[in-house]
Each structure stands twice: as structure tokens, then as C-alpha cells.
A and B are shown apart, each in its own frame.
Chain A
């Protein structure tokens, strides 16, 4: 039984990384305003959301199985508080940090319509921090680090995200590159928020 938890924790961790990679790529794709990955825009947006919610399920499974695992000896506050763990505190801390960031991103997204677009977007940018931290956590901790298959998966995920970011920064990214960025004068911003 205790071995089963350990295997489940490792498997769900890897699946979470793959799912989060898909989520990041789709999120960048939905930002372009063009159909991406051969899908219409609303489908990219819905897949982005659904893959994100699924990744939360796997991350939750990953964390919960480690809480009950006799090897990991994760304490309840290790789930929230990074870098104080007993076992490889730095690498485990990256996992905790990625978890905290993921929770913040998902919760603000679910409350998007109440929080307003600006708050939501600012928190959503943390995804660019959350993903690399999660990747490093996977590479540095656990009993699979250094195995060829985990390296292969991690490198494939990194290639996918770096490619997506490269596309994001390229000039052909936006659908109407000639359209000027929207600027709202700071003194009008408050009124704008009130109108909404």
C-alpha cells in the first residue's frame, strides 16, 4: 500500500507537468487572437481551461498521496509553506511554490468575473513563473530524477513552452499586428472600472 502511494505520487507528478505544459501552450495560443493548433479560438480557450482544471486534479492527487506516504513524510504545512521541508527542502520547496502559484492562478480565474480583468490578468502572468518552477521541482526532487525518461519528458515539455513563448514574442503572433495597443489614460482608469 505504501509503495502504491509512492508510485501514484510520481506518476501524477509527471502527468501534472505534461498537462501544465499543454495548458501554457494553449494559453499562449489563445492570446494570439488567431485559431491555433488547428482549433477555433473558442475551442483553444475551452481546452485551456479544462486542461487546467484537470491538472489541478492531478496536482491534488500528487500532493495528497505524498501527505499519506510514509517515505515522503510531508507535513501539512509543507503543502503551503515552501523551503522548510525535511527532504531536499529546496527542490520540494519549488513544488510547494508552484502549488501555491497554481492555486492563486486557478482561484482568480474561477472568480474572474468578480475580480475584474486587470486583477485576474496580473495574477495570470504568474503562470510564467509557476511552470518553470514546477519543471525544476520535477527535475530536482523525487526518485526519478536523472532517469532518461523523465529527462525526455522534461525536455519535450521545455521545448514546447519555449517554442510557444518564441511564437508569442514573434511579430506574426497577433492577428492584427498593425492595430495599436489599447491605452487608457491613468486618470480615466478608475472611472472605467466603475462603469464595469
Chain B
């Protein structure tokens, strides 16, 4: 499973970086950046629940999970 961020929608509200601390960090403007440097970072199985919650809570509906 991979996490896709729609950059046209993301407003850098930082909900996902809180829920997926192990995967994402905030850049200087609060936008999420994948720790592994990938555009669509892979979600490790233990974080799948947190990733689903991030998708659900993102206020801009900018997140999507894609099956690889």
C-alpha cells in the first residue's frame, strides 16, 4: 500500500504528519514530506490503520491509499 498526496489539494494542515510520524515529516511550511524521500511512500503494514485514519481525517481530502 502506498500513500498518495494530492498536492493541488493539500493545505499543509499537518494532521497526517501527526498520525504518521514514522513516515512523514513537515517541511518548513507545514507540508508533509516522506521520510524515505519517495513521492508516494510505501505504508508499512503496522501503519496501515494510522494511514487509513489520516486519509479519513485529512481536512482537504488530499490523501489516498493506492494498492501497488
Q: Could you list which residues of chain A lie within 8 angstroms of chain B, going by C-beta atoms?
A: 30-31, 33, 40-42, 45-46, 112-113, 116-117, 120, 175-176, 179, 182, 184, 192, 195-196
Chain A neighbourhood of B53, CB < 8 A: 42
Other A-B pairs, 16, CB within 8 Å; known A113-B56, A179-B12: A30-B59, A33-B11, A33-B13, A33-B30, A41-B14, A42-B19, A42-B54, A45-B15, A45-B57, A116-B61, A117-B9, A120-B61, A175-B14, A195-B6, A196-B6, A196-B9
Task: Establish whether residues B18 and A41, one from each chain, have CB atoms under 8 Å apart when the complex forms.
Answer: yes
Give the number of A-B contacts (CB < 8 Å).
45
Chain A neighbourhood of B12, CB < 8 A: 33, 176, 179
Task: Establish whether residues B8 and A192, one from each chain, have CB atoms under 8 Å apart when the complex forms.
Answer: yes
Q: Could you list which residues of chain B lie within 8 angstroms of chain A, going by C-beta atoms?
A: 6, 8-9, 11-15, 18-19, 29-30, 53-54, 56-57, 59-61
Task: Establish whether residues A112 and B61, one from each chain, have CB atoms under 8 Å apart when the complex forms.
Answer: yes
Chain A neighbourhood of B11, CB < 8 A: 33, 182
**B6, B19, B56, B59 pick with most chain A CB within 10 angstroms:** B59
Rounded to whole angstroms, the CA-CA distance of A106 and B48 in the bound complex is 26
